[in-house]
């Protein structure tokens, strides 16, 4: 695990943007395409805006990307709570992405279970699950004040402990909604996993995840441990020190 500590939120966002440019350009020097799973929430918005800016948007050849998403609220695409909507508005609408290679979770005109199964099929087709030695080139993750990541919330035993499925669905009582989420097996088969964590409110959870006993049922971010890839935590001083 590699820890990157930045002074503040803006510096953090710029640092991970530069890191992504370097890593993804190296990947494209060796492969025709790269695969990335993007994260929702508030923390990555500045990162996406930087990557979409005139200074950065041509540093990565987004036309050679296959873009996925880590988790999604089961709301319509045009709902402000939709992770896909936020990612489109802050990043994808401003870079040269090939729409045929944008793979978001379907959240309309089907049940949550059907949506999760459909996304699992998308992943299986792209990565050839039966023979996959690795999955995503890069996964971006956030972490909540309660140490959740993706839609793996504390106490969600079935989703946290999932060993076979790459995508599942769950009901989150405190949010009064279903969510669709990738699971630990597909994330932990990735080449690079990067947490992006900002703010004093995250400091207690981050300290536990990094330094305390392994307890993923209560601190789900601990379950992210790439088998053969690299794990990075990009954090600001507020999250690191409280």
Sign of CA dihedral 35, 41, 82, 119: positive
Q: Is 230's pLDDT higher than 90? A: yes
Domains, the chain, ranges and CATH?
2-241 (3.40.50.1360)
> What does the pLDDT look like over 103-150, one tens digit per residue?
999 999 999 999 999 999 999 999 988 777 899 999 999 999 999 999
pLDDT of residue 56: 98
Using CA atoms, how far apart are residues 189 and 173, in angstroms rounded to an integer?
29
Rounded distance, CA 144 to CA 41, Å? 9
Q: What percentage of the chain has pLDDT greater than the value 70? A: 100
pLDDT in tens, 37-75: 999 999 999 999 999 999 999 999 999 999 999 999 999
pLDDT over 90 (residue 13): yes
pLDDT of 242 above 80: no
Confidence of residue 26 (pLDDT cuts 50, 70, 90): very high
Contact (CB, 8 A) for 102 and 70: no
Q: What is the mean pLDDT of the chain?
A: 96
- Confidence at residue 44, expressed as pLDDT on a 0 to 100 scale: 98
Burial of 91 (0-12, 13-18, 19+ CB in 10 A): buried
Q: Pick the closest to residue 102 from 158, 164, 33 (CA basis).
A: 33
pLDDT at position 202: 97
């Amino acid at each position: 695990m590699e820890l990157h500590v930045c002074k503040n939120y803006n510096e953090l966002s710029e640092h991970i943007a530069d890191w992504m440019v370097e890593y993804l350009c190296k990947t494209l020097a060796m492969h025709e395409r790269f695969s990335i799973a993007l994260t929702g929430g508030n923390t990555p918005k500045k990162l996406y805006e930087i990557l979409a800016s005139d200074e950065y948007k041509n540093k990565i050849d987004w036309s050679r990307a296959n873009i996925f998403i880590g988790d999604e609220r089961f709301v319509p695409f045009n709902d402000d709570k939709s992770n896909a909507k936020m990612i489109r508005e802050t990043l994808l609408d401003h870079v040269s992405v090939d729409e045929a290679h944008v793979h978001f979770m379907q959240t309309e005109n089907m049940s949550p279970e059907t949506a999760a199964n459909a996304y699992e099929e998308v992943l299986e087709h792209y990565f050839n699950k039966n023979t996959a030695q690795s999955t995503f080139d890069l996964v971006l993750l956030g972490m909540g004040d309660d140490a959740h990541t993706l839609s793996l919330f504390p106490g969600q035993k079935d989703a946290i402990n999932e060993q076979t499925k790459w995508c599942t669905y769950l009901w989150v009582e405190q949010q009064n909604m279903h969510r669709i989420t990738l699971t630990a097996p597909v994330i932990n088969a990735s080449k690079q996993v990067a947490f992006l964590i900002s703010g004093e409110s995250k400091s207690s959870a981050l300290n536990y995840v990094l330094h305390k006993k392994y307890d993923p049922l209560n601190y789900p971010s601990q379950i992210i441990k790439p088998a053969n890839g690299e794990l990075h935590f990009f954090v600001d001083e507020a999250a690191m020190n409280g």
